[in-house]
Structure 1
């Protein structure tokens, strides 16, 4: 079912019933990147998958990551109660910023493949992507974007999925992409991690090149109530690459009530 939130400025899909669970997608992906886990999750939760501002049917917002986080806080307030939030990649940064700026809004956080601050090489990667896309268009970043999402061997083994994910990336509004790159290049949320007043599960793919495991280790160490799980063999969007393993990693954190295959993640 399609719904709108935040005064009609956020478009979302809703399925299932129960405790609300909201899924924030990555910058290099879209809401469809949760398609492989939304169905199983909807057997236990009321699953809401919004388009982040400027993506899909959601209106863009000016003002950087803080403004995006504030808009998504409006959307969560429309849902009522205290939803749990899963954010992947850019969606994880949005969810983290939202938790810092809006205490008590969410019940639990799952931050998949993100962090609190990039290294200087990581910052430069976003500056370069913004510059290349401004000069040559998003198509010039096709290879880079897919490499940041998936390891090369997975790409080679899944050509149809790669075509689908590349098409999703190329639908991104360039202005929104540039603004997100600029925001992530300057991001440092480490001083504010102590403000996150809820339990957090930090997940990261072992092979993630975009937001590598050391970022997640630092994030988990800086949060008041967090645990870290490393997903072996996965890259930046593990919910697409290994959905059963991803769900298994979520299960105990979400009261072990998510129907999953019996796959045990590696914990660190």
Structure 2
């Protein structure tokens, strides 16, 4: 069931019963990337899976990642009735969740940050600048192969052709302007000095083969957070909940209790 949050600006799917658990999707994917784990969580939680601002039917917002985080804080408060909630973010969704927790310290009771970080290396920043430039010059189609490689290892792509067809189609539905704005934001982002503001427990997850947000970023993130634990997901890349849903659920199960 879909519902509109934050004065009708954020569209979200909702299922299950229990305390609220929000799932924020990555930049190169969409909210369907959580479809494989929602059934395993909906027995214990009320799962809210929003489309981030500018994706799907959620209204875009100007002002960079900070304003996006503010919009999502409004949506979380709306759906959770003002009480602190558990927020899980993957990739770009993890950066949004982290920025949100920094700017709104009362918003979350726990965070799960999967394949995310506090800042990119210079090669990582350059990759975002390049994707923005190529997409501007030639369209999203020109970077689809690059985007898929950032999400999944070549071997996984070869073994799951139908899934990859679906993921390519999802990426090509992304608003090009929203995509480029996100690339620009991530290319300049550095939240490392603000991590001490996050006082809630944080589970940091990363796929061992993640090329988009490599494991060193998660090591740095966990080291900078006051109450963080780090887990490496074997055999996974940037979207572990889609690539290995059972392993992902097992990794978060105890933390969510």
**Normalised TM-score (structure 1):** 0.95
1:130 is the counterpart of 2:129: no
- Structure 2 match to 1:45: 45
- Structure 2 match to 1:106: 108
2:2 and 2:199 mapped to 1: Cα distance?
Answer: 31
Tell me by how many angstroms 1:104 deviates: 1.3
Residue 248 of structure 2 aligns to a residue whose secondary structure is helix
1:82 and 1:14 mapped to 2: Cα distance?
Answer: 17
Tell me by how many angstroms 1:197 deviates: 1.7
- Structure 2 match to 1:186: 188
- Structure 1 match to 2:119: 117
Structure 2 regions of 5+ residues with no counterpart? none
Tell me by how many angstroms 1:95 deviates: 0.1
1:245 and 1:68 mapped to 2: Cα distance?
Answer: 30
Equivalent pairs counted in the alignment come to 255
1:146 and 1:76 mapped to 2: Cα distance?
Answer: 29
8 A Cα contact 1:104 1:197, kept in partner: no
Tell me by how many angstroms 1:147 deviates: 0.1
1:103 and 1:241 mapped to 2: Cα distance?
Answer: 32
- Structure 1 match to 2:12: 12
Residue 166 of structure 1 aligns to a residue whose secondary structure is helix
2:31 and 2:49 mapped to 1: Cα distance?
Answer: 6
8 A Cα contact 1:117 1:190, kept in partner: yes
- Structure 2 match to 1:228: 230
- Structure 2 match to 1:203: 205
Tell me by how many angstroms 1:83 deviates: 1.1
2:160 and 2:120 mapped to 1: Cα distance?
Answer: 29
1:135 and 1:2 mapped to 2: Cα distance?
Answer: 35
- Structure 2 match to 1:171: 173
Residue 218 of structure 1 aligns to a residue whose secondary structure is helix
1:102 and 1:32 mapped to 2: Cα distance?
Answer: 27
Deviation track 1:14-69 (CA, whole Å, cap 9, x = no partner) reads: 00010100000000000000000011100110000000000011000000000100
8 A Cα contact 1:203 1:230, kept in partner: yes
Moved beyond 2 Å, runs of 4+: none
1:83 is the counterpart of 2:109: no
Residue 36 of structure 1 aligns to a residue whose secondary structure is coil
**Normalised TM-score (structure 2):** 0.99
Deviation track 1:68-109 (CA, whole Å, cap 9, x = no partner) reads: 000000001102121100000000000000000000111100
